[in-house]
Amino acid sequence: MHTLIESVSGIRGIFGAGLDAGVLVRYALAFGTWCRRRTGEANCTVVVGRDARVSGEICAQIVTATLRSVGINVVDAGLACTPTVAMGVLMERAQGGIILSASHNPEQWNALKLLNSRSEFLAPDEVLELQRLARNMEPPSHADIPIGSLRVRNFTDPHIEAICRLDFVDIKAIAERDFSVAVDGINSVGAIALPRLLKRLGVRSVHVINGDVSGRFAHPAEPLPEHLEGTMAFVRQVEADLGLVVDPDADRLALIDDNGCYVSEELTQVIAADFLWQRRTGPFVTNLSSSRAIDDLAARYGEKVHRSAVGEINVVKAMQAHEAVLGGEGNGGVILPDLHYGRDALVGAAIVLQQLADRGEPLSQYRQSLPAYVISKNKLTVDTPDEVLSAFADRHAARNISTVDGVKVNFDVGWVHIRKSNTEPIIRIYAEARTRASADDLARWAIVDIRQENP
């Protein structure tokens, strides 16, 4: 099966079966052209980095060579987290960035994740413009184009230093807690960056599992509890105070507490907001599929929460519109404008450590003070997702629904959100309630409803 998905989350597919050399060349040419047109600069620089997927090196070589062949200067970030490449774009004042990473997709997948000169993912209208360019793109035929330069720069340490310079990071306070922290690097770039960050923050005892940066993922890459039984056992085995789990490009952060119990990735952004709202005032932005826990927390502080469509750039645009002090997504993404407008597991980890250091209590105890919800996350393959969503909206139009992104049905006891995935050829069905049984019941109701109409 050949699969290529073009969305605000990038251009992704199975390497060699949808995402092939031709696609990489076509989109690299289009992106270089797009950067020049958008910035109006003839001398363009693009930062290129990748996660540790086996196909990553050759994909990066193809993209880099293509960009250089049309006069784009490339800064090679090498193995780097997605947020690190984003920081690199800002540090270099580059006209764009490309990350070769399919995030949480299986290891045979890869993707072009594209950043503009502000280090933000391309907005929907920008994606459409790029797609039009890519469809009609042909290599320039004239021979007077200079070859773009190639320079190598490691941005990981500068990224870490930028985090340590944030006004709320107190390295001495973190060090005094003498934390023991376990890291699941999922055999990718998080295994490089997170231990280095922790040591810089004064954590003396760092235990790494799945730290071989081979791109051969030891478990399914999405940091969900059903994938992390071994990691939770590891946290208990080494008696860590905290477990940090990332996806292959380290823009998502899930937590494991000191008892070796999974802390919902939905709570990563909630903990970050709880920390920051003690220091600043201002709204928070998250997406429609994120937990109501953030709304409950906002009520404690008298703050507002705004919702956007799913997709990091949709959250970012809403953050900018509402002048939010913080944002995120319930998949473990934390977006701190002080650093850059993108999800960043490294800054999320620093915030969590600082919060635990300031509170002087273990994560297992602290989580009891946070709003408690359960989300049931499900997938369904359908032949005509747009028709399915439209029909579902029509059937339930009398209910309290939102059609900003797919269909979200709000109930007093919880909600169900059904939408096309930006990253897989499926529809996602998320449901939330106070208990696992109630959340599963809501999800089951939606799935049965869809299947009755699409047997």
- Distances in Å between the alpha carbon of 291 and those of 173, 288, 329? 31, 8, 9
For the whole prediction, is pTM greater than 0.85? Answer: yes
Residue-level length of the chain: 455
Nearest residue to 199 via CA among 220, 184, 222, 179: 179
Q: Which two three-digit tokens encode residue 94?
A: 């580059």
| Mean pLDDT score of the chain | 94
b/e per residue 169-208 (b: at least 16 CB within 10 A): bbbeebeebebbbbbbbbbbbbbbbbbbbbebbbbeebbb
Nearest-angstrom CA–CA distance, 168 and 294? 21
**Per-residue tokens: 323:** 């002048």
Catalytic residue positions? 103
CB of 180 closer than 8 Å to CB of 257:
no
Compute the average pLDDT of residues 285-314: 96
Q: What are phi and psi of 209, to 5 degrees?
A: -115, 145
Distances (CA, A) of 272 to 150, 269, 276, 337: 38, 5, 6, 13
279 — pLDDT class (breaks 50, 70, 90): very high
423 falls in which pLDDT band (50, 70, 90)? confident
Q: Is residue 232 over pLDDT 70?
A: yes
Span 146-205, pLDDT tens digits: 899 999 999 999 999 999 999 999 999 999 999 999 999 999 999 999 999 999 999 999
- The pLDDT value recorded for residue 451 is 87
Q: What is the pLDDT of residue 199?
A: 98
Q: Across residues 375-384, what is the average pLDDT?
A: 90
Residue 246: what residue type?
V
- Which pLDDT belongs to residue 8? 76
3-state SS string for the chain: CCCEEEECCEEEEEECEEECHHHHHHHHHHHHHHHHHHHCCCCCEEEEEECCCCCHHHHHHHHHHHHHHCCCEEEEEEECCHHHHHHHHHHHCCCEEEEECCCCCCCCEEEEEEECCCCCECCHHHHHHHHHHHHCCCCCCCCCCCCCCEEECCCHHHHHHHHHCCCCCCHHHHHHCCCEEEEECCCCCHHHHHHHHHHHCCCCEEEEECCCCCCCCCCCCCCCHHHCHHHHHHHHHCCCCEEEEECCCCCCEEEECCCCCEECCHHHHHHHHHHHCCCCCCCEEEECCCCCHHHHHHHHHCCCEEEECCCHHHHHHHHHHHCCCEEEECCCEEECCCCCCCECHHHHHHHHHHHHHHHCCCHHHHHHHCCCCEEEEEEECCCCHHHHHHHHHHHCCCCEEECCCCEEEECCCEEEEEEECCCCCCEEEEEEECCHHHHHHHHHHHHHHHHHHCC
Cα gap 191→81, rounded to integer Å: 10
For 38-87, what is each residue's pLDDT tens digit?
877 778 999 999 999 999 999 999 999 999 998 999 999 999 999 999 99
The predicted pLDDT at position 425 comes to 74
Residue given tokens 């709570």 in the structure block: 267
Confidence of residue 233 (pLDDT cuts 50, 70, 90): very high
* Residue 6 CB coordination number (10 Å): 18
* pLDDT at residue number 442: 96
What would the pLDDT profile of 98-138 be if each residue is shown by its tens digit? 999 999 999 999 999 999 999 999 988 899 999 999 988 77
**pLDDT number for residue 88:** 98
Q: Say what percent of the chain tops pLDDT 90.
A: 86
> Per-residue confidence at 139, pLDDT binned at 50, 70, 90?
low
287 confidence band (pLDDT: 50, 70, 90) = very high
pLDDT tier at 9, thresholds 50, 70, 90 = confident
Percentage of the residues of the chain whose pLDDT score is greater than 70:
98
Residue 142 has pLDDT above 70, yes or no: no
Question: Residue 203 and residue 177: Cα distance in Å, rounded?
Answer: 8
Of residues 270 and 40, more confidently modeled:
270
